[in-house]
Amino acid sequence: MPEGDTVWHTAAVLRDALAGKTLTRCDIRVPRYATVDLTGRLVDEVLSRGKHLFIRAGPASIHSHLKMDGSWRVGRHRVDHRVRIILEAGDIRAVGIDLGVLEILDREHDQDVVAHLGPDLLGADWDPAVAAANLMAEPQRPLAETLLDQRVMAGIGNVYCNELCFVAGLRPTSPVSAVANPDRLVARARDMLWANRSRWARCTTGDTRPGRQLWVYGRQGMACRRCGTPIAYDHTGDRVAYWCPACQR
Ligand SMILES: [Zn+2]
């Protein structure tokens, strides 16, 4: 599932592929923007902000959000019905697949769509003090819900949310007021995303061997790595919760 680290890495891959190059093909397969053609425009910047991605070309900015299943691929990816946009610069091709959001914005104002976000965990403007204050702003709010709120801090999705609840020793449903050290939890969040920003395989345990990368996420019924208790699971809509009934109170 795309989280802030995946988007940061995607931006880096797209930047390597397209930045400084002139588009030789621009095929947008979203009805509203089907007539927009950025062919001939120079791609001069690719940036990520939380889970949002911007490809800036001349006066336009291609804004995308991967949501649950979206991705960008560079290379000779097959063009099928899931492809929403094709950008080419000479022999380089980048395609956006199943993008949850794809829109063409006026470059001057493209950051308006992310103005509501809290500090970006992987951004140049990362501010742990603001993030910690945001985290604790509503003491009774459930921890998982608060961590997933991009206005609190930007970049956390279901995987990091569950892993952070585990390292905090709290259940996803615990109120944030139960967090003993907000600064420490915010620092852990930053460390987790930072450590994973340049790879696709995600690891929060420090052990990158297959099957050992995560504490609780995706491990329903399996033994807790700390105490051996079977990991519990619950879900509501898009939200999933994994926790150790013994380690997390
Ligand atoms: Zn445990």
pLDDT at 68: 87
Cα 138 to ligand 1 centroid, rounded to whole Å:
27
**Other CB atoms within 10 A of residue 73 CB:** 16
Could you list the active site residues?
Answer: 2-3, 51, 239
CA of 17 to the centre of ligand 1 (A): 43
CA of 160 to the centre of ligand 1 (A): 17
Residue 201 pLDDT? 86
* Contact (CB, 8 A) for 39 and 29: no
Give the per-residue pLDDT at 78. Answer: 83
pTM: 0.93
Mean pLDDT by 10 residues, the chain (249 residues): 92 98 97 95 96 96 94 90 96 96 97 97 95 98 97 96 98 97 98 92 93 96 98 92 97
Return residue ranges of the chain for CATH 3.20.190.10: 4-114
Tokens representing 181 are 């050290």
- For residue 1, the model assigns a pLDDT of 74
Considering the domain 128-243, what is its CATH architecture? Orthogonal Bundle (1.10)
Contacts of 72 (CB under 8 A, 6+ apart): 10, 13, 14, 53, 64, 66, 94, 95, 96, 97
Note the residue count of the chain: 249
What is the pLDDT at residue 136?
Answer: 98
Alpha-carbon gap, residue 101 to 66, rounded angstroms: 7
C-alpha 170 – ligand 1 centre gap (Å): 11
Partner residues linked to 46 by β-bridges: 55
Q: What is the domain class of 4-114 according to CATH?
A: alpha beta
pLDDT digits (tens, 9 = 90+) for 23-34: 999 999 999 999
- What local confidence, expressed as pLDDT, does residue 2 receive? 86
pLDDT digits (tens, 9 = 90+) for 190-224: 999 999 999 888 999 999 999 999 999 999 999 99
Q: How much distance in Å is there from the Cα of 225 to the middle of ligand 1?
A: 7
Amino acid at 100: G
